[in-house]
C-alpha cells in the first residue's frame, strides 16, 4: 500500500521556508527529529482539488527511475519539492506522499494477476451503528452483509480472485506477503493509518496503491470511490521497469524453515528411529528442531541471505516474487542462515530461563513446558546444531571462509554471555551505580553481536572481508544499541501480541538505559525513591508507578529517543561510504527496519489481526 511510511514521522515539520531533511553524500535524505504530524495530514476538502493533485502526481512520477523503492525520507523530499512546485500548502504533505507513492507503483501493481493481489479495507467504512458483521481472526466478516460499501468492493474483488482483508493497520499484511499468498496490495485507509502502518512493506518493495479516506474519524467516513475502481478491476501486463524488492529474499528466509527445505538442510538424526520405542532418546532433537522451525520472523536468516546477495550485486531483489521456485542461493549460505537462527533461538531459551519469562511467541516458554533442566539442554543442543551446520558449509576456492565465520560466531557467543552476565550481576545486587555508558555497553554486548554475525556471515560467504571487517562491527554496534533502546521504550508500552506487560523490564530490575538516564539526573528526593524501588520496598505496581513518574519528570523517554536518532545517524553515515550500491542500499534498509519506531497496537487490533507481530524485536 502506498502510504506515508511509519518512520517518516512528520512531527513538528519545518515550515515551507525550512528544510525538513539534510542529504548525505549519496543524495539520501536524512531525518533529524521526530515530529508531530497532525497538521501535515489534511485531505483537500473538494474533489476538484483532490483530482488536480492526483493528476499532477501521476505526471510528476512518470519519468522517475523505478529500479529501487523510495525510502521514507526520499519520498518526503520528493513530495515537498512537488508541493513547492505547484504552490500547494504543506498541510497536504501526507496526502500527496500517498499519491506519489501510488503512481510509483501503479503499473507494477496492475501487471500482477488479480489472484495474487490483496484488497485491504478499513472497518471504519462500516456503519458505526447497527453493523451486523462480526470479527474473525482475519478482520471483519462481510460475507453475507450488504449494508455498506465494504461489501461492494469485497464481492467484486473476490469474484476477480483477490484475497480480501477487512482490518485496521499492518500486523497481518506483511505476513501474508512473505508467506507467498499475494504479491501486491490495493488498500483503503485514513492518513493516520497510512502514516504508521505499512512502512516495512514499502521498504521491502511491495507494489501497492492506497486510496485515502477523507477523514480519520473512524466512523462512517467516506472516500473517492472512483479511485478504488481505477485499479480494482484493471489488469495491464504492460512492460514496466521492475523495482527491486526484498520480498523474494524474505520468502526464501522463511521457506528455509518449512518442509521440504528444512528437512533437507537439517535432516533428522535420532528422530528417524521408532518413536514408540525411542521417544525418550529422540525428544531433545524433536523439541529443539520444532523450536527452531516454528515461531519468529526469520529476520536474522534474512540478513544473511540478503547480505550475500547484496555483495553479489543484488540480483535476487529483482527476482519474480510470484515464482514458486526457490531462489538460486548456495546450500552453504542457506545452512549458515539456519545456523544464525539456531544460535538466536538457543539464546532465547536461556534468556527466558534467566529472566523467568512466561511467554515467547505468544506461547508458554520452553522451561515452563518442559522444565528448566530440559530447556537448558534444548538450548545447548541448538548451539551444537548451529556449529554442525557451519561445519558443513563449503566455499569453493576459499578454504578459510568457514573458519572466519566460526570465529565470528564464537566471539558473538562470548560477547553475548558477557552482556547477559553483566545484566544478571547488576540485577542480583541493583544499585544507583549505573551510568548510561554502562547500560549501552551491556546493549552492545547483548544485541549487536547477533546482527554482526548475521551480516558478516552473508558477506564473508560472498568473498574476502578486508574492505568490510571494521565497517560491519561499527555499523552493527550502532544498529544493535539503537534497537535495544527502542526495546526499552517498547517495554513501557507493552506488547499485547506477545503477551508482554507494560514495564516488565523495569519490574524485573534490569539495568536499562532509561533507568541509567534517570539516575544520572535525579535530585536527592528522586534518588531516594529510586533506591527504594531497587530495594523492592513496595509492591510491583507501586514500584512501576514510581519509576514511570520519575522517568517522566527526568524526561528520559525523550532523551532515549534522541539516542536512537543518534545511533541511526551514525549507522547511516557508515552506510554512506559502502560499495557496491546494492550493499549500501541493503544497509539503509536495515537501519530503516531495525530502528523504526514501534506501532502501538490496541487489544481490538489484536483481536482483528490474530496475534501477528511484524515489528523486529528481541523475540523475533
For 549, other C-beta atoms within 10 Å of its C-beta total 12
What's residue 462's pLDDT?
97
Give 587's Cβ-side CA count (13 Å radius).
32
Q: Which three cell numbers stand for residue 410?
A: 564464537
> What are the residue ranges of CATH 1.10.600.10 in the chain?
245-394, 420-620
Phi, psi of 319 (to 5 degrees): -70, 160
Widest distance between CA atoms in the chain: 78
407 or 29, greater pLDDT: 407
Per the DSSP assignment, residues forming a β-bridge with 164 are 119
For residues 595 and 572, what is the distance between their CA atoms, to the nearest angstrom? 11
Q: What is the mean pLDDT of residues 440-459?
A: 96
Helices marked H in 70-190: 72-86, 93-110, 149-160, 173-178
Give 11's Cβ-side CA count (13 Å radius).
10
What's residue 102's pLDDT?
94
Cis peptide leading into 274, omega within 30 of 0? Answer: no
Specify the pairing of strand 163-166 against strand 208-212.
Answer: unpaired
pLDDT tens-place string over residues 315-335? 999 998 777 778 899 999 999
Mind giving me the DSSP string for 468-524?
THHHHHHHHHHHHHHHHHHHHHHHTT-BGGGTBPTTHHHHTT---HHHHHHHHH--H
DSSP assignment letter at 370: H
Of 70-74, 140-144, 258-262, 597-601, which one has max mean pLDDT? 258-262
pLDDT at 361 over 80: yes
The alpha carbon of residue 294 and the mean position of all alpha carbons in its chain are separated, in whole angstroms, by: 18
Under 8 Å between Cβ of 516 and 438? yes
Q: Which of 598, 505, 517 is CA-nearest to residue 556?
A: 517
Per the DSSP assignment, residues forming a β-bridge with 483 are none
For residues 457 and 610, what is the distance between their CA atoms, to the nearest angstrom? 34
Q: What is the mean pLDDT of residues 353-382?
A: 93
pTM of the model: 0.83
What's residue 142's pLDDT?
53
Q: Which of 394, 379, 601, 420 is CA-nearest to residue 498?
A: 601
Residue 48 vs residues 44, 55, 166, 609: alpha-carbon distances, Å: 9, 11, 29, 36
Under 8 Å between Cβ of 518 and 551? yes
pLDDT tens-place string over residues 211-255? 999 986 666 678 999 999 999 999 998 766 788 999 999 999 999
Q: Which of 219, 236, 224, 13 is CA-nearest to residue 98?
A: 224
What's residue 11's pLDDT?
35
Q: CATH fold of 420-620, please?
A: Farnesyl Diphosphate Synthase (1.10.600)
The burial class, CB within 10 Å (0-12 / 13-18 / 19+), for 466 is exposed
The burial class, CB within 10 Å (0-12 / 13-18 / 19+), for 131 is middle
Ramachandran region, residue 19 (left: φ > 0; alpha: ψ -120 to 50; beta: rest): beta
DSSP assignment letter at 316: G
Phi, psi of 186 (to 5 degrees): -110, 120
pLDDT tens-place string over residues 417-428? 999 999 999 999
**Position 22 confidence tier, pLDDT thresholds 50, 70, 90:** low
Under 8 Å between Cβ of 215 and 19? no
pLDDT at 276 over 60: no
Q: Which three cell numbers stand for residue 107?
A: 503499473
Q: CATH fold of 245-394, please?
A: Farnesyl Diphosphate Synthase (1.10.600)
Cis peptide leading into 260, omega within 30 of 0? Answer: yes
Residue written as grid cell 507493552 = 494
Q: Which of 496, 508, 500, 511 is CA-nearest to residue 543?
A: 508
| Inter-residue long-range contacts of 407-414, CB under 8 Å, 24+ positions, other chains counted | 408/452, 408/453, 408/456, 408/457, 408/460, 409/339, 409/343, 409/453, 409/457, 411/449, 412/343, 412/449, 412/450, 412/452, 412/453, 413/343, 413/383, 413/449
Q: Which of 116, 141, 24 is CA-nearest to residue 73?
A: 24
Q: Which three cell numbers stand for residue 123?
A: 472497518
pLDDT tens-place string over residues 82-113? 999 999 999 999 999 999 999 999 999 999 99
Q: What are the residues whose beta carbons fall under 8 Å from the beta carbon of 273, sequence distance 6 or more?
A: 281, 282
Q: Which three cell numbers stand for residue 541?
A: 505496581
Q: Which three cell numbers stand for residue 569?
A: 545517524
Under 8 Å between Cβ of 311 and 458? yes
Q: What is the mean pLDDT of residues 579-586?
A: 95
Amino acid at each position: 500500500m502506498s502510504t506515508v511510511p511509519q518512520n517518516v514521522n512528520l512531527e513538528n515539520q519545518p515550515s515551507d521556508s525550512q528544510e525538513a531533511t539534510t542529504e548525505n553524500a549519496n543524495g539520501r535524505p536524512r531525518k533529524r527529529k521526530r515530529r508531530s504530524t497532525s497538521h501535515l495530514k489534511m485531505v483537500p476538502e473538494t474533489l476538484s482539488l483532490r483530482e488536480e493533485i492526483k493528476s499532477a502526481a501521476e505526471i510528476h512520477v512518470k519519468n522517475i527511475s523505478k529500479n529501487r523503492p523510495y525510502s521514507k525520507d526520499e519520498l518526503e523530499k520528493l513530495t515537498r519539492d512537488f508541493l513547492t512546485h505547484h504552490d500547494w500548502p504543506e498541510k497536504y504533505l501526507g496526502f500527496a506522499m500517498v499519491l506519489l507513492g501510488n503512481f510509483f507503483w501503479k503499473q507494477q501493481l496492475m501487471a500482477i494477476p488479480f489472484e495474487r493481489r490483496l484488497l485491504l479495507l478499513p472497518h471504519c467504512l462500516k456503519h458505526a451503528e447497527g453493523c451486523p458483521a462480526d470479527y474473525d481472526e482475519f478482520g471483519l466478516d462481510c460475507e453475507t452483509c450488504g449494508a455498506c460499501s465494504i461489501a461492494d468492493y469485497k464481492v467484486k474483488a473476490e469474484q476477480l480472485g483477490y484475497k480480501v482483508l477487512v482490518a485496521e493497520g499492518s500486523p497481518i499484511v506483511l505476513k501474508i506477503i512473505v508467506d507467498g499468498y499475494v504479491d501486491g496490495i490495493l488498500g483503503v485507509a485514513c492518513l493516520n493509518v497510512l502514516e504508521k502502518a505499512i512502512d516495512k512493506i514499502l521498504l521491502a518493495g511491495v507494489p501497492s496503491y492506497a486510496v485515502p479516506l477523507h477523514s480519520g474519524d473512524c466512523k462512517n467516513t467516506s472516500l473517492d470511490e472512483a479511485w478504488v475502481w481505477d485499479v480494482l478491476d484493471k489488469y495491464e501486463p504492460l512492460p514496466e521497469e521492475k523495482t527491486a524488492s526484498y520480498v523474494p529474499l524474505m520468502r526464501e528466509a522463511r521457506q528455509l524453515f518449512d518442509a521440504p527445505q528444512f528437512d533437507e538442510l537439517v535432516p533428522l538424526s535420532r528422530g528417524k528411529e521408532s518413536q514408540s520405542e525411542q521417544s525418550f532418546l529422540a525428544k531433545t532433537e524433536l523439541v529443539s528442531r520444532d523450536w527452531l522451525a516454528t515461531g519468529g520472523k526469520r529476520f536474522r536468516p534474512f540478513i544473511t541471505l540478503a547480505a550475500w546477495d547484496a555483495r553479489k550485486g543484488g540480483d535476487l531483489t529483482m527476482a519474480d516474487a510470484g515464482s514458486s521456485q526457490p531462489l538460486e542461493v548456495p546450500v552453504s549460505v542457506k545452512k549458515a542462515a539456519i545456523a544464525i537462527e539456531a544460535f538466536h533461538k538457543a539464546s532465547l531459551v536461556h534468556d527466558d530461563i534467566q529472566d523467568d519469562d512466561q511467554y515467547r511467541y505468544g506461547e508458554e516458554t520452553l522451561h515452563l513446558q518442559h522444565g528448566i533442566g530440559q530447556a537448558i539442554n534444548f538450548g545447548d543442543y541448538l548451539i551444537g546444531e548451529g556449529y554442525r551446520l557451519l561445519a558443513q558449509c563449503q566455499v569453493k576456492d576459499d578454504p578459510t571462509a568457514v573458519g572466519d565465520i566460526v570465529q565470528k560466531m564464537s566471539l558473538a557467543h562470548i560477547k553475548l554471555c558477557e552482556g547477559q552476565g553483566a545484566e544478571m550481576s547488576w540485577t542480583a545486587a541493583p544499585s544507583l551505580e549505573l551510568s548510561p555508558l554502562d547500560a549501552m555497553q551491556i546493549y552492545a554486548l547483548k544485541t549487536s553481536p547477533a546482527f554482526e554475525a548475521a551480516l558478516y556471515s552473508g558477506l564473508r560467504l560472498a568473498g574476502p572481508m578486508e574492505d568490510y571487517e571494521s565497517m560491519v562491527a561499527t555499523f552493527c554496534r550502532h544498529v544493535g544499541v539503537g534497537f535495544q533502546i527502542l526495546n526499552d521504550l517498547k517495554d513501557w508500552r507493552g506488547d499485547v501480541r506477545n503477551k508482554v506487560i507494560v514495564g516488565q523490564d523495569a519490574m524485573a530490575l534490569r539495568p536499562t538505559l532509561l533507568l541509567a538516564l534517570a539516575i544520572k539526573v535525579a535530585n536527592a528526593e528522586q534518588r531516594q525513591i529510586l533506591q527504594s524501588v531497587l530495594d523492592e520496598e513496595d509492591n510491583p505496581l507501586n514500584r512501576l508507578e514510581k519509576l514511570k513518574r520519575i522517568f517522566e519528570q527526568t524526561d528520559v523517554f525523550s532523551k532515549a529517543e534522541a539516542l536512537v536518532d543518534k545511533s541511526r545517524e551514525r549507522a547511516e553515515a557508515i552506510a554512506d561510504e559502502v560499495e557496491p550500491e546494492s550493499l549500501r542500499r541493503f544497509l539503509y534498509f536495515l537501519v530503516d527496519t531495525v530502528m523504526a519506531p514501534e506501532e502501538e497496537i490496541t487489544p481490538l487490533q489484536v483481536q482483528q489481526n490474530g496475534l501477528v507481530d511484524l515489528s523486529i524485536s528481541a523475540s523475533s
